[in-house]
Amino acid sequence: MKIGTQYNSYNQPISYPVNNWSTRDYPTKTILEGTYCRLEKIDPSRHLEDLYNNVYGPETNPKNWTYIPIVSFENKQDFSVYLTSISHLQDPFHYAIIDKASKKAVGTLALMRINREQGTVEVGFVIYSDQLKKTRIATEAQYLLACYALDELGYRRYEWKCDALNEPSRKAALRLGFTFEGVFRNAIVYKGRNRDTAWFSIIESEWPKIKSKLESWLSISNFTADGEQKKSLNEC
């Protein structure tokens, strides 16, 4: 039933009922398994070296940090302190992205701003190494996290937010099936500058169709032996 198709006793339009609603759980799963990658809850004893060398260290691409609220780390000791601190958090709940072929950690992402009472959650802290960008693994990592939030945990709304000037992030959100909802102006001050925040979302009623498209694109049959896609995600 669409919003506004019901009326109360005062003849005012109201939205559809949400029956048998209950508070959702916090994320707790330590492993989300995929075909090309695996998401593992951040564990400094396993992920420190790879993430420092591939994603967070001083040799990483400086362009990767323009729209991220933190900066790269100049030394491993400082990064170890940071990684240990976030590994204990419940919100955000951080995962390392593991390339199953190389068995290396090549990026991170998190479930954050978790509103259990209303059933909303955001994917954030998406930090990819250059070798991860625009790969099957990058898409599958997003797919796995969305499945966990929307299917297993039963959240109703899955959000993506970014600096409104971050065009690659905006394009990625739209490609993955998120709907653009608008811009919150003067939303944040970070790194000494203003951030207008672009909002995107997937809601529970949209997810089955989006999920099916992602699964079709991620299918091994959609790729050549050289790893080239046969159909784009938009074509699936």
Domains of the chain (ranges, CATH numbers): 27-222 (3.40.630.30)
What pLDDT, on the 0 to 100 scale, is given for residue 1? 41
Strand positions, DSSP E, 22-87: 31-33, 37-41
Average pLDDT over residues 173-195: 98
DSSP state letters, 178-222: PEEEEEEEEEEEETTEEEEEEEEEEETTTHHHHHHHHHHHHSGGG
3-state secondary structure of 127: strand
* Percent of the chain residues past pLDDT 90, beyond the cut: 94
Measured distance CA(65)–CA(175) in Å, rounded: 22
pLDDT higher than 90, residue 2? no
Average pLDDT over residues 109-130: 98
Measured distance CA(75)–CA(83) in Å, rounded: 13
Measured distance CA(63)–CA(187) in Å, rounded: 22
- pLDDT tens track for 129-179: 999 999 999 999 999 999 999 999 999 999 999 999 999 999 999 999 999
pLDDT higher than 60, residue 3? no
Average pLDDT over residues 174-194: 98
pTM of the model: 0.95
Measured distance CA(182)–CA(184) in Å, rounded: 7
Q: How confident is the model at residue 114 (pLDDT cuts 50, 70, 90)?
A: very high
What pLDDT, on the 0 to 100 scale, is given for residue 4? 54
